[in-house]
Amino acid sequence: MPADGGPGRRGEGDRQIGDPFAPAPLVFVEKVRGALRLAALDRAAHRAGLAPGLTLADARARLPGLAVLDHDPAADAAFLGEVADDCDRWTPLVALDAPEGAPDGLILDITGCAHLFGGEAALRARLLAHLERHGLGALAVIAGTPDAARALARSGRGGVVPPGGEAAAVAGLPVARLGVSAETVTGLSRAGLKTIGDLAARPATPLAARFGVELLVRLDRTLGREDVRLVPRRPLPACIAERRFAEPIARTADIEATLALLVDDLALMLEARGEGGRAFEACFFRTDGAVRRLRVETARPLRDGVALARLWRERIETLADPLDPGFGFDLVRLGVLRSEPLTPAQVSLDGRAVEEEEVAALVDRLAVRLGRERVLRFLQRDTHDPDRASALVPAGAAVPSAAPAGSAAEALARPLTLFDPPQPVEALAEVPDGPPLRFRWRRVVHEVARAEGPERLAPEWWRRPEETPTRDYYRVENREGRRFWLFRAGLYEREPGAPRWFLHGLFP
Amino acid sequence: MDPIRDVAALRQMLAGLEAARLPGVEPSFSLGAAGPAAGGVCLARGALHEVQAACSADLPAAAGFALALALRALQTADAGERRPLLWVRQDLAEAEFGRLDAPGIAALGLDPARLLVVRARDGAEVLRAAGDAVRCAGLGALLIETWGTPKALDLTATRRLALRAASSGVTSFLLHMAAQAAPTAVATRWRVAPAASAPLEGDAPGAPSFHATLLRHRGGAGGVRPVEGGDWKLEWDHEACTFRDLDPLPRAVVPVPAGRPDGAGAQEARRGEVVALRRAG
């Protein structure tokens, strides 16, 4: 059952206007069509009779002592995101509610979760108390469909709608709460249909003919006749294990022990599904509402409790900014974000599978400690463009690419290391296409003893940007025996601009 | 408990017991078809070897030499043909000499799909990653490339690496510059500089060539006396996967396929035999 809550602003309290020490009523203004208008206001300002949309000048005329701040929708959205993260503790299905463009509410799908907190009413009470503790005022409604809950919450109601009671609960609400366009609302009120109850009593066909099917869909959803699925903010984990603590935990040893327990729970679940996890996420819910998320990705499907626990220990040890427990974590959750089928490995006598397993475990550990982008393997592409012929990609993600056809046989003379981008050098060479006789790289002059070239290499014509100079490559060896891969960008007299020389790679 | 782990442990134990006796797995590898002096050098498998670049500009040559040694170690190893190599590189080495390139690795004779590259931020991180990797018996060989000589790379650290390499059987190569020579516990220590290659037709640069000095050789594994101080010019033949003595004179290069039977050589040997002839009449 979805619940809808509209959190207020942090720090907003119940202030009395008559109190001389109370802070002034606070409003947030934004510029709309050349005039500063109120975008949001606190409770005190609301009580004084101000409303969003009023110009600042009018508001000042009514309340001269008004405190004014600029409206910052991005900060609002970010804060709502933090609240939504914290609401993950009630259910993994949390969606942002944005009926008028900018999100200003949250919808939680609590189907199957309510019994964990002692029923729907108890869950609602705990949720409100939790938000209250963090200085948030909120309205929460639990109803059978998201639309019914939203319509009730935005009308200022609260409470739990009993199953099947949506139609009765929303009957008295104005039609504007259906979330249909302004013209439809105007049309309906001209026809004398002021409340949702009026609409529900009407036959559907004439309404659809006059106002479109959209109205009927909205009506059905609000009356609880049709249910819709939420689009959660975060991907749903395949399976979840969690531990709640009446006494929050803060020590690293406790956190690691908790993770080890959770990993064992997950291993059992994954085994029952015949799967192994490729990506895991741990969420640490702090008592003050902040949520820290950590991810671990593995190179192969994994459900071995010992290996997983070791990966998590490694991950926590090597955090750049350590887990800040604040006043402690009261909920730790471990979820499998991505899983793949995993059949138990056959132990063969040659131990081949064991060796592969060992290497994959090593890759995982190094990737967790150093970061995925630091444990790499080659991705080869079938192209002559040296810049694109190979790339280093994370070892966990890539499947070993098939080598380009015939590469083993030809094994071109190519440098062991490539500079990216190529390094400019000053070179002396025969015009127009002789190999360099002498070049200066990093303030050292190299006399060329032997050279081979030119070898003209270019990207495929469809990849080649316009006006790129032609590259002629030379393999040269200097008098000391060091070998270099140089190229001349540009042709004498046939391409505009003077040709320039670059060093692209070094041979062993 | 876990059959996979038990069998792995058992295999490791057996390998440790039988490494010296199994006919398939030789405990050492040589430089290949190099001449008599260099050819006699036997390097221990499952040990730590050190390759120093004579100066910082020679690091690419030293890297090539270390990779070639690793290929030698893999080529004759049991099932080594399929095991991956791990190359731990420090970021500074990459900034100075560019990133590793797959065609260049293929040109030295290693299938790039078998190479895993680990980038580490500093010397301590290189050593930590190497310490983990050297214990993984599934690896064929391990290359540890540091920029300069990090403080953490001392006798204790190298001794630890060497012991772990001995127990897991992963042949490891420590690659760095010879700027500050620190005492290290290694089986062999090479100093490598590039050598002028034997030119190909048209005076083109030839195969990768090295000027290798064997500074230290512990024990001289395989019953061969230590050949410390040896100083050779070698070139790497990626097709046959072997080192050869560098021939400084130009010669026509006919690529010889790796698997050709050695028939021509046998006939030549017969040409010199004395054949008894009977005078007619």
CB contact under 8 A, B116 and A375: yes
The label of the residue with tokens 């009308």 reads: A155
CA distance A23 to A203: 53
Is residue A169 domain-shared with residue A251, that is, in the same domain?
Answer: no
Query: Which pLDDT value is given to residue B262?
Result: 47
| Furthest-apart CA atoms within chain A: distance in Å | 98
Query: Which pLDDT value is given to residue B23?
Result: 43
Span A477-484, average pLDDT: 91
What is the span of the domain harbouring residue A254? 239-367
Query: Which pLDDT value is given to residue A166?
Result: 85
Is residue A202 domain-shared with residue A322, that is, in the same domain?
Answer: no
Query: Among A21-25, A170-174, A364-368, where is mean pLDDT lowest?
Result: A21-25
Amino acid in position A436: P
Query: Which pLDDT value is given to residue B269?
Result: 42
Query: Is residue B119 situated within a structural domain?
Result: yes
- 3-state SS assignment for residue A434: coil
Whole-number percent of chain A with pLDDT over 70: 90
Among A334, A367, A400, give the residue marking a domain's end.
A367
Is residue A79 domain-shared with residue A167, that is, in the same domain?
Answer: yes
Query: Is residue A157 situated within a structural domain?
Result: yes
What is the span of the domain harbouring residue B231? 44-245
- Residues 34-63 of chain B with CB under 8 A from chain A are 57-58, 60-61, 63
Q: Is the pLDDT score of A369 beyond 70? A: yes
Confidence of residue B34 (pLDDT cuts 50, 70, 90): low
Q: Is the pLDDT score of A400 beyond 70? A: no
Query: Is residue A95 situated within a structural domain?
Result: yes
Confidence of residue A381 (pLDDT cuts 50, 70, 90): confident
Is residue A207 domain-shared with residue A252, that is, in the same domain?
Answer: no
* Closest chain B CA to residue A479: B196
Query: Is residue B31 situated within a structural domain?
Result: no
Is residue A249 domain-shared with residue A335, that is, in the same domain?
Answer: yes
Q: Which residues lie below 8 Å from residue A275, measured CB to CB, with a gap of 6+? A: A238, A301, A303, A339, A340, A341, A342
Is residue A82 domain-shared with residue A209, that is, in the same domain?
Answer: yes
Query: Which pLDDT value is given to residue A418?
Result: 92
Is residue A125 domain-shared with residue A147, that is, in the same domain?
Answer: yes
- The number of helix segments (H) and strand segments (E) in chain B equals 8, 12
CA distance A7 to A26: 17
Q: Is the pLDDT score of B255 beyond 60? A: no
* Closest chain B CA to residue A370: B120
Higher pLDDT, A326 or A10: A326
Is residue A134 domain-shared with residue A85, that is, in the same domain?
Answer: yes
B48 with B162: CB under 8 angstroms? yes
CB contact under 8 A, A417 and B139: no
Is residue A247 domain-shared with residue A344, that is, in the same domain?
Answer: yes
CATH classification at residue B165: 3.40.50.300
Query: Which pLDDT value is given to residue B179?
Result: 61
CA angle B84, B89, B92 (to 5 degrees): 165
Domain count, chain A: 4
Domain count, chain B: 1
Residues of A with Cβ-Cβ distance to B133 under 8 angstroms? 362, 366
Query: Which pLDDT value is given to residue B228?
Result: 64
- The pTM score is 0.72
Of A350, A366, A452, Cβ closest to residue B129: A366
Q: Is the dihedral of CA B130, B134, B140, B142 positive or negative?
A: positive
CA distance A333 to A261: 11
Residues of A with Cβ-Cβ distance to B211 under 8 angstroms? 481
A311 min Cα distance to partner chain B (Å): 13
A107 with A3: CB under 8 angstroms? yes
Query: Which pLDDT value is given to residue A297?
Result: 87
Query: Among A344-348, A394-398, B130-134, where is mean pLDDT lowest?
Result: A344-348
Query: Which pLDDT value is given to residue B130?
Result: 93
Query: Is residue A45 situated within a structural domain?
Result: no
Query: Which pLDDT value is given to residue A17?
Result: 39
Span A230-244, average pLDDT: 88
Phi-psi region of A159 (alpha: psi -120 to 50; beta: other; left: phi over 0): left
CA distance A487 to A471: 6
CB burial string B191-210: b at 16+ within 10 A, e below: bbbbbbbbbbeeebbbbbbb
A490 with A498: CB under 8 angstroms? yes
Is residue A331 domain-shared with residue A393, that is, in the same domain?
Answer: no
Query: Is residue A330 situated within a structural domain?
Result: yes
Confidence of residue A346 (pLDDT cuts 50, 70, 90): low
Q: Which residues lie below 8 Å from residue A474, measured CB to CB, with a gap of 6+? A: A435, A436, A451, A452, A453, A454, A455, A485, A486, A487, A488
CB contact under 8 A, B138 and A369: no
Is residue A127 domain-shared with residue A108, that is, in the same domain?
Answer: yes
pLDDT in tens, B42-66: 788 889 999 999 888 899 999 999 9
